[in-house]
Copies of this chain bind each other. A is one copy, B any other.
Amino acid sequence: MTETVDPTRWVCPRPLRDHSAVMLGHGGGGVLSGELVEHLFLPAFAAAPDDARMPAGALADSAVLEVGGVRLAFSTDSYVVRPLFFPGGSIGELAVHGTINDLACSGAVPVALSAGFILEEGLDLEVLGRVAEAMGRAAARAGVRLVTGDTKVVERGLADGLYVNTSGIGVVPPGVDIRPERARPGDRVLVSGPIGEHGVAVLSVRENLEFGGDVRSDTAALHGMVAAMLAAAPGGVHALRDPTRGGLATTLCEIAAASGTGVEFTESAVPVPPVVEAACAFLGLDPLHVANEGKIVAFVAPDEADAALAAMRAHPAGHEAAIIGTVTADHPGLVVARTAFGTTRVVDRPLGEQLPRIC
């Protein structure tokens, strides 16, 4: 790709690692992704992370901004998963549920979604039709409307069938203030169910592997679960995030970093399905790094943690929810796991892309 650019040398406002080109890892949700956002996008968009005018969560999951007296959550995600269809769903469900969940993690009630398609010339219209229908069904089930859209077509070979962006808006109810920064020492860390299913399901079809068990993507809309938690534990829900790219480990690290706290959790308390464990052992992956598309991690005040857990478990997608750990004032920014051997280990974000194009 040759591009004519301004002949003056461009310099990244904050130096990036030793590389000059985009790598797959820049899309992995890990360290490289974070660096791209903080060193390149934020300065370019003239809104440094310490800019007080920057809405909470800006350039991360969803931004919350006051518009005409209403607190709106606004979020965007592009979906490039390969293949387009996998056990348990398709890019269509992912695109609807993923953006709904980003809104829900601000405590918002999702209202409307947009859909922006980039299609590859030659794509079978049947494939497009099935994806669009999956989106329509997922939105209807979630009670959210697809209200505006756009379609672009690029020449054969310049996309991979189809990519789709969904953006979403939701309303944050009065009094609700859920942000990664709000996690505090003493909070309990909850996860809404077994981890790793989405990543392993996609890999199983992509690599044509059998893992000795049925594994399906957990893709699901979780705004109902969040609403139930907020009703059950009013004021106690401090931070929420859906552990997608980069998995549970990345989510815990991000919230520890954002809130300046430490996180301690017990490995054996994290629900990992046997098939995910087997697949990860076979592929050399850490289940804590594998993407989920229908789970929520919650940081909840200790006296309301049981009520929030009960609300999670009462939701169809949360039967196996568990309390896995605690927030501590020790080791700010660090996430520490207690292993089955009674030792501890530091849990880190993956550097780049463990599983490219997982969502």
Residues of A within 8 A of B (CB): 1, 3-6, 10, 12, 16, 19-28, 33, 36-37, 40-41, 44-47, 54-55, 57-63, 65, 67-70, 72, 74-80, 83-85, 111-112, 114-130, 132-133, 135-136, 139-140, 145-155, 157-161, 163, 165, 167, 169, 171, 205, 353, 356-357
Contacts and interface: CB of A to CB of B under 8 A. Distances in A.
A129 B12 contact: yes
Contacts of A1: 120, 122-124, 127, 160-161
Give the secondary structure class of A's interface. mixed
A116 B78 contact: yes
Contacts of A84: 3
A345 B116 CA distance: 35
A145 B47 contact: yes
B47 A153 contact: no
B356 A153 contact: yes
A76 B26 contact: no
A63 to B, nearest CB: 4
A3 B44 contact: no
Contacts of A44: 129, 132-133, 135-136
- The 3 A-B pairs at the shortest CB distance, nearest first, are namely A27-B153, A167-B167, A44-B132
Contacts of A135: 44-45
A125 B58 contact: no
Contact of A69 (B69, B79, B132): B69
